């Protein structure tokens, strides 16, 4: 199984950061490549099983299912149902942790997947990480 990973440290507290990250339907608020998100099934967006339909600024669409939302651990996990990405079996977790010495937050975004046929694991990871980086940069702009 291949992996992709991105992380960042925030000056905002873990609770403040988590309050934004936990909003499964809120990704377009901080991901510059997304213009819309709609819950299209399975619950209200805070219930495992909820399915969101993301629309990119380029018109591409992504269907993702919320697998887990753990407020105590500050973890949100989801899987791709359908997307124009070079991966299969994609499952990802965003995890917000407190930074003890600064009172800030550490956010990690970790995914496991199988590369699609004709794509190497490194090529697929590069595509995913190229999406994570601007998303996390966008998150920095909406929480201080």
- Residues sharing a CB contact under 8 Å with residue 95, sequence separation 6 or more, in sequence order: 73, 74, 75, 107, 108, 110
Residue 27 φ/ψ, nearest 5 degrees: -55, -40
pLDDT-based confidence at residue 43 (cuts at 50, 70, 90): confident
**76-96 pLDDT, tens per residue?**
999 999 999 999 999 999 999
Q: What residues make up the domain containing 58?
A: 2-142
> Which tokens belong to 115?
């590369």
DSSP labels, 73-125: TTEEEEEEEE-SSSEEEEEEEEEEEE-TTTS-EEEEEEEEEEEPTT--HHHHH
Q: Give per-residue pLDDT as tens, 119-132.
A: 999 999 999 999 99
Number of domains in the chain: 1
pLDDT grade, residue 140 (50/70/90)? very high
The angle subtended at Cα 139 by Cα 134 and Cα 144, nearest 5°, is 135
Question: What are 95's two structure tokens?
Answer: 């995890």
pLDDT greater than 80 at residue 144: no
Q: What is the CATH number of the domain that holds 119?
A: 3.30.530.20
DSSP state letter for 69: E
What pTM value is reported for the model?
0.95
């Amino acid at each position: 199984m291949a992996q992709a990973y991105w992380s960042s440290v925030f000056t905002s507290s873990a609770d403040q950061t988590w309050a934004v990250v936990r909003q499964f339907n809120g990704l377009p608020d901080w991901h510059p490549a997304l213009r819309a998100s709609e819950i299209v099934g399975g619950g209200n967006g805070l219930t495992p099983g909820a399915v969101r339909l993301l629309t990119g600024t380029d018109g591409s669409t992504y269907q993702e299912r919320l697998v887990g939302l753990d407020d105590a651990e500050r973890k949100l996990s989801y899987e791709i149902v359908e997307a124009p990405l070079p991966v299969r079996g994609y499952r990802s977790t965003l995890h917000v942790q407190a930074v003890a010495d600064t009172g800030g937050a550490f956010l990690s975004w970790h995914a496991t997947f199988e590369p699609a046929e004709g794509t190497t694991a490194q090529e697929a990871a590069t595509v995913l990480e190229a999406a994570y980086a601007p998303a996390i940069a966008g998150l920095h702009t909406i929480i201080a």
